[in-house]
C-alpha cells in the first residue's frame, strides 16, 4: 500500500515543489520510504522530508512522486521502479498476489530484479509487453495477467506519455484534475486540494486507463472488464454452490494471509466479518479482531458474544457522544466526504482501525462485498418479489460495480490514514465469478427473506460456525454501532434541527448523488427514515467539511473507449 502523486505542466513550469507538497499530505500512506522521478531522473529516500531536501535544486515540468508502506519486500522496495531498458517508470499502490509466478517467468527471460517486491514485477511485465505494442497495448496485456488490486502510474520516457490505471473492481483509487496550467493526479483528493485545485475532481474508473500525452491531452480506455461479461449459470443446487464457494474462498483467503504471522480483522459480529476472522484464525498464527461502537450498542454486544463463542481475540473501542463529536471533523477530512451515510459507517470503522494501529497491525481483512455478490441486503427479496429475479441480478451487479465509490475508497482512506493495508477476500475475481454463476434463488428467497446470502451462510455452517451465528440478523453498521442516533443528537446540540433548514439548501440536497444501495433504491422497499439522512444532520456535517466544494452534482457518464 502506498501513495501516488504526479503533475504534468502544460506551460513548462517547475512542478517538483508541488509534487512534494502533495506527498506531504499523504505521509501516512507511506511512512516507510519515498521516491520521485523528475524528467527521467529518479531519487529515492527513507522519508518525504529527506526526499524534498534532495530535490531543492531540481527543476522539471513533469514529476511523479510516491510514498511507500512496506508490506511485501521489506525495507528494500522504494519506488518508482524502472524497466531494464530505462524506458518505463512505474509507481504502484496495491498488492499483486501472483507476483511470484510472474517473476519466475520473467527471470527466465533475463529481466534483472533489484528487490523482492510484488510492485517491481509489474514494470518488467510491462517492458515485456511493450516491445511489440503501444503503451496502451502493453497495459492491456499486463493487467490481464495480474491477480490483485492496484492503482498504477506509468511514464513512458520514449513518448512522454503517462498512464493512470485502476484495478478492475476499483479496490484502489486514483483521482485527477485537468486545469489550465497542468494535469495532476493523486491517491487522495486532499493532495489535489493542497495545491489549489477545486472540486469537481475526477477519478480513474475501475478497469480503466487514462493516457495523458506529453502536451496534456487525455483519453480514457477500458483495459479490463470489472466483472466477467459472460458467466454460465453453473450452480443450481445448494450443495454444488457451497462446494465451489468453499474452494474459491479458501484460495482467496490464502492469497491474502500468506507469509503473515499477525493480522487484524474489522469485526462487526455479522457473518461476513465472522467468516473472514474464523478462516484467518486457521491460517495465521495471531489474529486480532477489532470492533467499535457506542457504549451499549448491539454491534459491540454481539461481537463480544460471538468472539467468545468462537475463541477469537477481540478488542473493542467504545465511543461516547463527546468522543464522536471530536472525531467527526477528523473522519470527514480523512474520507474526503461529508455525506451522512458515509460518515455514519466510517466512524465505527475508524475507531476499529485506530485501535489496530495502536497495536502495530499492518494488514487488516474486511468482509466487504459479500452482500453484493450473494444477495445480503434486506431489500433484495422484495426486489425479487416486485420486479423479478432478472431485475434483482441487475440491481446486485450495479451495487457491485458501484462499490468502488460507495465503500472501497472510504475504507482505503481510513486504513491508510493509520498506515494499514486493507484486504477484501470476497472481492477476489474468482470469488466474484463463482458467485455470479449461482442460481439467484439459492441465495435470495422471494418475498420476506430478510437474511439472504444463503450459500454464504451454509458454507459458514459447513466450516464449523454455529447456525445461530451464521443466520443472525444483523443491523446496518450505522444503526448497530449506534452512530446514526448519536450524530443526530450531536447535530441538534449544535442547533441543527428540522426548523433550521433553508429552502435553498433542500434544493441543493435534491441535486446530490445518492451514495449507497440503501439510499439509491433500498429505501423504496422499507422505512425511508432508516436509510435517508435527515437534512439537518447533513447540513451539520457539511459545515465541518474542508472540501473546496460542499456538494457534488449527480455524476454524468463519460464515454470510455474500449
Residue 25: count other Cβ atoms within 10 Å of its Cβ.
Answer: 19
First to last CA, the chain: 28
Instruction: Give the rounded percent of residues in the chain with a pLDDT score beyond 70.
Output: 94
Q: What average pLDDT does this structure show over 118-139?
A: 92
Distance of CA 128 to the CA centre of its chain: 29
- Exposed (0-12), middle (13-18) or buried (19+): which is 321, by Cβ within 10 Å? middle
The answer to whether the beta carbons of residues 63 and 52 sit under 8 Å apart is: no
What backbone phi and psi angles, to 5 degrees, belong to 416? -70, -25
High-pLDDT (> 90) share of the chain, %: 73
Mean of the pLDDT values across residues 190-205?
Answer: 94
Residue 503 carries which DSSP code? H
Q: How far apart are CA 92 and CA 70, in angstroms?
A: 12
Q: Is the pLDDT of residue 556 over 60?
A: no
Three-state SS for 135-148 is HHHHHHHHHHHCCE
Cα distances (angstroms) measured from residue 510 to each of 72, 241, 545 = 45, 42, 19
Tens digits of per-residue pLDDT, 235-282? 999 999 999 999 999 999 999 999 899 999 999 999 999 999 999 999
Q: Which CATH class is domain 238-488?
A: alpha beta
Distances (CA, A) of 536 to 48, 284, 496, 508, 509: 41, 46, 5, 13, 11
Assess contact for 151 and 173: CB atoms under 8 A: yes
375, three cell numbers: 444477495
Query: Under CATH, which number does the domain 2-222 receive?
Result: 3.60.20.10
**CB-side exposure of 131: number of CA atoms within 13 Å?**
8
Angle at 182 between CA 178 and CA 187, to 5 degrees: 65
Residues 437-454 have pLDDT tens digits of: 999 999 999 878 889 999
DSSP conformational letter for 393? H
Is 156 in a helix, a strand, or coil?
strand
Whole-number Å distance between alpha carbons of 185 and 6: 5
Task: Report the alpha-carbon distance of residue 292 to residue 300 in Å, rounded.
Answer: 7
Report pLDDT digits (tens) over 139-150: 999 999 999 999
Domains in the chain: boundaries? 2-222, 238-488
Amino acid at each position: 500500500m502506498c501513495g501516488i502523486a504526479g503533475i504534468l505542466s502544460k506551460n513548462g513550469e517547475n512542478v517538483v515543489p508541488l509534487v512534494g507538497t502533495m506527498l506531504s499530505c499523504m505521509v501516512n500512506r507511506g511512512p516507510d520510504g519515498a521516491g520521485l522521478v523528475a524528467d527521467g531522473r529518479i531519487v529515492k529516500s527513507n522519508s518525504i522530508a529527506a526526499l524534498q531536501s534532495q530535490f531543492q535544486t531540481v527543476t522539471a515540468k513533469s514529476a511523479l512522486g510516491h510514498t511507500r508502506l512496506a508490506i511485501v519486500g521489506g525495507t528494500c522496495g522504494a519506488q518508482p521502479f524502472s524497466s531494464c531498458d530505462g524506458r518505463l517508470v512505474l509507481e504502484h499502490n496495491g498488492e499483486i498476489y501472483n507476483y511470484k509466478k510472474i517473476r519466475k517467468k520473467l527471470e527466465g527471460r533475463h529481466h534483472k530484479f533489484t528487490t523482492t517486491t510484488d510492485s517491481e514485477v509489474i514494470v518488467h511485465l510491462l517492458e515485456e509487453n511493450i516491445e511489440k505494442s503501444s503503451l496502451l497495448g502493453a497495459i492491456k496485456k499486463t493487467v490481464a495477467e495480474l491477480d490483485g488490486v492496484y492503482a498504477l502510474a506509468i511514464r513512458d520516457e520514449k513518448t512522454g506519455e503517462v498512464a493512470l490505471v485502476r484495478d478492475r473492481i476499483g479496490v484502489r483509487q486514483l483521482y485527477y484534475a485537468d486545469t489550465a496550467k497542468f494535469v495532476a493526479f493523486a491517491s487522495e483528493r486532499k493532495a489535489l486540494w493542497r495545491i489549489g485545485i477545486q472540486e469537481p475532481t475526477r477519478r480513474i474508473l475501475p478497469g480503466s486507463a487514462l493516457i495523458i500525452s506529453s502536451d496534456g491531452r487525455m483519453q480514457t480506455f477500458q483495459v479490463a472488464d470489472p466483472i466477467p461479461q459472460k458467466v454460465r449459470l453453473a450452480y443450481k443446487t445448494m450443495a454444488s454452490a457451497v462446494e465451489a464457494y468453499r474452494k474459491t474462498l479458501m484460495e482467496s483467503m490464502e492469497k491474502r494471509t500468506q507469509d503473515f504471522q499477525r493480522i487484524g480483522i474489522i469485526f462487526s459480529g455479522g457473518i461476513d466479518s465472522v467468516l473472514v476472522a474464523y478462516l484467518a484464525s486457521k491460517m495465521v498464527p495471531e489474529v486480532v479482531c477489532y470492533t467499535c461502537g457506542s457504549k451499549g450498542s448491539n454491534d459491540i454486544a454481539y461481537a463480544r458474544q460471538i468472539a467468545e463463542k468462537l475463541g477469537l481475540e477481540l478488542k473493542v473501542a467504545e465511543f461516547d457522544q463527546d468522543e464522536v463529536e471530536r472525531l467527526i471533523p477528523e473522519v470527514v477530512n480523512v474520507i474526503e466526504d461529508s455525506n451522512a451515510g458515509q460518515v455514519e459507517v466510517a466512524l465505527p470503522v475508524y475507531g476499529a482501525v485506530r485501535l489496530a494501529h495502536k497495536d502495530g497491525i499492518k494488514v487488516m481483512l474486511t468482509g466487504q462485498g459479500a452482500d453484493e455478490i450473494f444477495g445480503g441486503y434486506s431489500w433484495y427479496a422484495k426486489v425479487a418479489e416486485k420486479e423479478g429475479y432478472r431485475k434483482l441480478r441487475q440491481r446486485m451487479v450495479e451495487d457491485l460495480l458501484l462499490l468502488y465509490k460507495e465503500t472501497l475508497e472510504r475504507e482505503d482512506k481510513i486504513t491508510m490514514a493509520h498506515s494499514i493495508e486493507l484486504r477484501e477476500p470476497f472481492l477476489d475475481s474468482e470469488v466474484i465469478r463463482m458467485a455470479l454463476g449461482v442460481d439467484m434463488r439459492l441465495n435470495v428467497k422471494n418475498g420476506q427473506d430478510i437474511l439472504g446470502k444463503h450459500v454464504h451462510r451454509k458454507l459458514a455452517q459447513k466450516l464449523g460456525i454455529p447456525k445461530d451465528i451464521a443466520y443472525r440478523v444483523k443491523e446496518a453498521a450505522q444503526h448497530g454501532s449506534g452512530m446514526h442516533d448519536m450524530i443526530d443528537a450531536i447535530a441538534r446540540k449544535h442547533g441543527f434541527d428540522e426548523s433550521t433548514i433553508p429552502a435553498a439548501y433542500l434544493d441543493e440536497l435534491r441535486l446530490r448523488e445518492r451514495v449507497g444501495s440503501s439510499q439509491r433504491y433500498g429505501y423504496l422497499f422499507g422505512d425511508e427514515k432508516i436509510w435517508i439522512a435527515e437534512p439537518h444532520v447533513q447540513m451539520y456535517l457539511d459545515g465541518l467539511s474542508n472540501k473546496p466544494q460542499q456538494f457534488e452534482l449527480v455524476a454524468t457518464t463519460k464515454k470510455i473507449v474500449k
